[in-house]
């Protein structure tokens, strides 16, 4: 694994795959610059060496060259974050780009146009990757958010650079090391809290975690498939009936491995899926007909807190309830607070996934959590124990 610190970029050009897929408002202003801030250390290192950084990214899901998805909109925000002027190329490959690259001087930064203006990017087209590769001496991948994709700029391009000329960006390195730290060499007890809407989207994660953790906490919508598999009445709660048998098999594996499983023991139930629903707290098995569970209850929150406070390593992905409605956000926020408290006491905590990250940010816990992952799908695939194409290509 070659890292940026092992390379001196003086007078060299580095093509850096970043994840600048940031949200924009209707005035095309960046509304959350987290991903740009996350890429800054790698860019700073290349420039500080006296090298040239050529940045490439995708933005949104354009169908061809759609002006609203141009990366030119984000230039002012990138300049603000980096604290210096950058140049912009209105294409990502071709003669004009090559000419612009030739004119660059040590310390310059050039941002290429949205890679997904070419359908070849997502197809992993070899010629497109080659056209990008010839722009630079080194390839650096710092886009953890797309590391699970075998796209031209995230994986295929790496074949055009030998081992000495391709490297992990600082963000990618940090992401991989923090997941290794939590799962590979995590201090015990290790606790994973998995939430979210559906079991089907996290089966691989749960199965892999059974082999790694001491405590597995399952919350959110997916808990109801497990609760039903155990014979509980769940009313109108969200459930995947076609996954009941699978849930039974997973429960059996959890038992066989001696992992402690924590499922909700009480719930906040509602008479409709709405923030102005009537609600009450009931024990498992007591959900009235036509009511649905939309959050975990106070006993469950207490139980989860106790497990988290006893843990030395904590991994959290996915909300405990329909946190988008204030009435059902308490469970998710309580888990965030518990993890924050345990982290202050010395536990190593890794939080990832849009909803869980939003919760810790809202609670002002960002500084307390040991590592907040920038990846959604990529993090889930790492937790599944899969080899990510973007990472494999650098090895
Ligand atoms: P995911 O994308 O799989 O992590 O799922 C996130 C979504 O799960 C959020 O939009 C939550 O509103 C939803 N969710 C969590 N708990 C429940 C629940 N008890 N019933 C329905 N949806 C839920």
Please provide the average confidence, as pLDDT, over all residues in the chain. 96
Q: Would you call 188 a catalytic residue per the annotation?
A: no
- What's the structural domain count of the chain? 2
Domain that includes residue 63, residue range: 4-169
- For 222-243, how does the pLDDT look when each residue is reduced to its tens digit (9 = 90+)? 999 999 999 999 999 999 999 9
Could you tell me the distance, in angstroms and rounded to a whole number, from the CA of residue 142 to the centre of ligand 1?
29
Could you tell me the distance, in angstroms and rounded to a whole number, from the CA of residue 312 to the centre of ligand 1?
27
Residue nearest to atom 21 of ligand 1 (CA): 221
CA gyration radius, the chain: 23
The reply to whether ligand 1 has any atom less than 6 angstroms from the CB of 198 is yes
- Ligand 1, closest atom to CA 322? 12
Q: CATH number of the domain at 328, please.
A: 3.40.50.1260
Residues 240 and 301 in one domain: yes
Residues 112 and 32 in one domain: yes
- Identify the H or E element spanning 87: strand 87-88
- Ligand 1, closest atom to CA 237? 20
Q: Which of 17, 35, 40, 228 is the catalytic position? A: 35
pLDDT for the residue numbered 304: 98
Residue nearest to atom 4 of ligand 1 (CA): 196
Q: Would you call 390 a catalytic residue per the annotation?
A: no
Q: pTM for this one?
A: 0.92
- For 65-123, how does the pLDDT look when each residue is reduced to its tens digit (9 = 90+)? 999 999 999 999 999 999 999 999 999 999 999 999 999 999 999 999 999 999 999 99
Asked whether residue 393 is assigned to any structural domain, the reply reads no
Q: CA–CA separation, 382 vs 180, rounded Å?
A: 9
| Alpha helices in 71-116, H assignment, sequence order | 75-82, 95-102
Residues 131 and 193 in one domain: no
pLDDT for the residue numbered 264: 98
Is the confidence at residue 185, as pLDDT, over 90? no
pLDDT for the residue numbered 67: 96
Q: CA–CA separation, 394 vs 141, rounded Å?
A: 8
Q: CA–CA separation, 112 vs 56, rounded Å?
A: 5
Residues 295 and 161 in one domain: no
Q: CA–CA separation, 74 vs 229, rounded Å?
A: 48
Q: What's the pLDDT band for 375 if we cut at 50, 70, 90?
A: confident
- Ligand 1, closest atom to CA 195? 4
The reply to whether ligand 1 has any atom less than 6 angstroms from the CB of 221 is yes
Q: How is residue 276 written in tokens?
A: 């102005």
How is 140-180 classified by DSSP, letter by letter?
A: EE--GGGTTS--TTTTGGGGGS-GGGEEE-HHHHHHHHHHI
Residues 105 and 9 in one domain: yes
Average pLDDT over residues 385-395: 95
The reply to whether ligand 1 has any atom less than 6 angstroms from the CB of 355 is yes
Residues 245 and 165 in one domain: no
Could you tell me the distance, in angstroms and rounded to a whole number, from the CA of residue 197 to the centre of ligand 1?
4
Could you tell me the distance, in angstroms and rounded to a whole number, from the CA of residue 128 to the centre of ligand 1?
38
Could you tell me the distance, in angstroms and rounded to a whole number, from the CA of residue 221 to the centre of ligand 1?
5
Mutate to test the pocket of ligand 1, among 319, 354, 377 (most ligand atoms within 8 A of CB): 319
The reply to whether ligand 1 has any atom less than 6 angstroms from the CB of 264 is no
CA contacts within 13 A on the Cβ side of 196: 21
Q: Would you call 198 a catalytic residue per the annotation?
A: yes
Average pLDDT over residues 279-299: 97
Listed range (5-14, 254-263, 373-382) with the worst mean pLDDT: 373-382
- For 355-370, how does the pLDDT look when each residue is reduced to its tens digit (9 = 90+)? 999 999 999 999 999 9
Could you tell me the distance, in angstroms and rounded to a whole number, from the CA of residue 120 to the centre of ligand 1?
34
Asked whether residue 174 is assigned to any structural domain, the reply reads no
Distance of CA 170 to the CA centre of its chain: 16
Q: Would you call 354 a catalytic residue per the annotation?
A: yes
Residues 89 and 117 in one domain: yes
Residues 162 and 14 in one domain: yes
Residues 304 and 368 in one domain: yes
Q: Which of 50, 107, 204, 377 is the catalytic position? A: 377
Q: CA–CA separation, 39 vs 19, rounded Å?
A: 8
Could you tell me the distance, in angstroms and rounded to a whole number, from the CA of residue 22 to the centre of ligand 1?
23
Asked whether residue 388 is assigned to any structural domain, the reply reads no
Buried b (16+ CB within 10 A) or exposed e, 244-279: bebbeebbeebeeeebeebbbebbbbbeeeeeebeb
Residues 160 and 198 in one domain: no
Is the confidence at residue 186, as pLDDT, over 90? no
Residues 231 and 283 in one domain: yes
pLDDT for the residue numbered 322: 97
Helix (H, G, I), strand (E, B) or coil at 29: coil
The reply to whether ligand 1 has any atom less than 6 angstroms from the CB of 361 is no
User: Within 10 Å of residue 70's Cβ, how many Cβ atoms?
Assistant: 18
CA contacts within 13 A on the Cβ side of 329: 15
Q: How is residue 214 written in tokens?
A: 């001491």
pLDDT for the residue numbered 184: 85
Asked whether residue 220 is assigned to any structural domain, the reply reads yes
pLDDT for the residue numbered 354: 86
pLDDT for the residue numbered 235: 97
The reply to whether ligand 1 has any atom less than 6 angstroms from the CB of 275 is no
pLDDT for the residue numbered 362: 92
pLDDT for the residue numbered 1: 82
Q: CA–CA separation, 138 vs 13, rounded Å?
A: 6
- For 311-344, how does the pLDDT look when each residue is reduced to its tens digit (9 = 90+)? 999 999 999 999 999 999 999 999 999 999 999 9
Residues 164 and 193 in one domain: no
The reply to whether ligand 1 has any atom less than 6 angstroms from the CB of 321 is yes
- For 111-168, how does the pLDDT look when each residue is reduced to its tens digit (9 = 90+)? 999 999 999 999 999 999 999 999 999 999 999 999 999 999 999 999 999 999 999 9
CA-CA distances (angstroms) from residue 202 to 195, 327, 352?
Answer: 9, 25, 13
């Amino acid at each position: 694994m070659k890292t940026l610190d092992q390379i001196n970029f003086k007078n060299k050009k580095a093509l850096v795959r970043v994840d600048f897929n940031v949200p924009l408002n209707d005035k095309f202003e960046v509304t959350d610059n987290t991903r740009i801030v996350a890429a800054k250390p790698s860019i700073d290192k290349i420039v500080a060496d006296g090298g040239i950084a050529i940045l490439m990214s995708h933005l949104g899901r354009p169908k061809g060259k759609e002006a609203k998805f141009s990366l030119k909109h984000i230039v002012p925000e990138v300049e603000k974050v980096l604290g210096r002027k950058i140049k912009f190329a209105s294409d990502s490959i071709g003669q004009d780009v090559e000419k612009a690259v030739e004119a660059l001087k040590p310390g310059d930064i050039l941002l290429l146009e949205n890679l997904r203006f070419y359908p070849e990017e997502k197809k992993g087209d070899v010629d497109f990757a080659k056209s990008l590769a010839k722009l630079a001496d080194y390839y650096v991948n710092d886009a953890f958010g797309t590391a699970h994709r075998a796209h031209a700029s995230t994986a295929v391009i790496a074949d055009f650079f030998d081992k000495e000329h391709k490297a992990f960006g600082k963000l990618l390195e940090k992401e991989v090391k923090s997941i290794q730290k939590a799962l590979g060499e995590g201090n015990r007890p290790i606790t994973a809290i998995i939430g979210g809407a559906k079991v089907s989207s996290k089966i691989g994660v749960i199965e892999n975690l059974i082999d790694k953790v001491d405590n597995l906490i399952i919350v959110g919508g997916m808990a109801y498939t497990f609760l039903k598999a155990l014979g509980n009445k769940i009313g109108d709660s969200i459930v995947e009936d076609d996954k009941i048998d699978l849930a039974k098999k997973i429960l059996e594996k959890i038992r066989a491995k001696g992992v402690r499983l924590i499922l909700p023991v009480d719930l906040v139930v509602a008479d409709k899926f709405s923030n102005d629903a009537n609600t009450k707290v009931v024990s498992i098995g007591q959900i009235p007909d036509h009511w649905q569970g939309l959050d975990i209850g106070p006993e469950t929150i207490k139980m989860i807190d106790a497990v988290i406070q006893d843990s030395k390593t904590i991994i959290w992905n996915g909300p405990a309830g329909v946190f988008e409605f204030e009435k059902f956000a308490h469970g998710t926020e309580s888990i965030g607070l518990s993890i924050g408290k345990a982290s202050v006491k010395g536990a190593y905590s890794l939080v990832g996934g849009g909803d869980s990250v939003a919760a810790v940010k809202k609670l002002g816990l960002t500084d307390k959590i040991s590592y907040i992952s920038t990846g959604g799908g990529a993090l889930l695939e790492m937790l599944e124990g899969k080899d990510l194409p973007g990472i494999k290509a650098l090895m």
